[in-house]
Each structure stands twice: as structure tokens, then as C-alpha cells.
Homo-oligomer: A and B are copies of this chain.
Amino acid sequence: MSASSLDLTFAALADPTRRAILSMLLEDDMAVTDVAEPFEMSLAAISKHLAILAHAGLIAQEKRGRVKWCKLEPDALRAASVWMQGFGQFEPIHLDEFEAFLARELDGADTQGG
């Protein structure tokens, strides 16, 4: 209970399905059903994942009509990013690296059956 913001953020990011969802939302806002479409799990499971992401502040959900739109809230990553960079004091990061990651992650995260 009452886990810290960092707890929630890192825990949310620890699941590959949730990271894949964030990657999808990076391209465009999506309805819950559309988020669920590429995954092999039930809509209810995706709905739970989205609730976890929303609770961590990583996405915002807005209901318009019967459709609930999900959009990325990248600012929520800043706190965690601050935390991590404080340790590493890394050189600047290049987009290439990030895109390589996304490619590797998406190549498998959408076929997880359990």
C-alpha cells in the first residue's frame, strides 16, 4: 500500500506487455480495444495493465462516448530517469539506441501467451 511513485513507475515498467503498450502509445493515442488487439491475452488483462500504467501516471485515460482513449504521459518517466541517471552519469543517449531497443522488444512482446 501507498507505494512510492518510483515503486509504481519501476513496477509498471517491469512487465514486457506494459512496455510494449507504452511503445504502441508512443506512435499514437489508442482505444483500449485497439491496444489489446495485437496481444494474445484477454481484453480484461489488457484493461488491468492499462490501469496499472495509469495508476503509475505513465498514461492518461479519457473516456469519450463508449471509447476510452489512452495516451502516453512521458513526463511521469522523468522522476525515474532522474533517479537512474544519478547513478550512471551516462554519456548522452542516442535515439538509435532507443530504436534498437524498441525493435528488439516488440519482436516478441506481442506473442506472449502466459
Residues of A within 8 A of B (CB): 3-4, 6-7, 10-11, 13-16, 19, 22, 26, 72, 74-75, 77-90, 93, 95, 97-99, 101-102, 105
Contact = CB atoms under 8 A, between A and B. Distances in A.
B83 A88 contact: no
Contacts of A14: 7, 10-11, 14
A74 B87 contact: yes
B15 A13 contact: no
Contacts of A4: 16, 105
B101 A88 contact: no
22 contacts: A6-B16, A6-B101, A7-B16, A10-B11, A11-B14, A13-B83, A13-B84, A14-B14, A19-B83, A26-B87, A74-B89, A77-B87, A77-B90, A78-B88, A81-B88, A81-B93, A82-B93, A82-B98, A82-B101, A86-B93, A86-B95, A86-B102
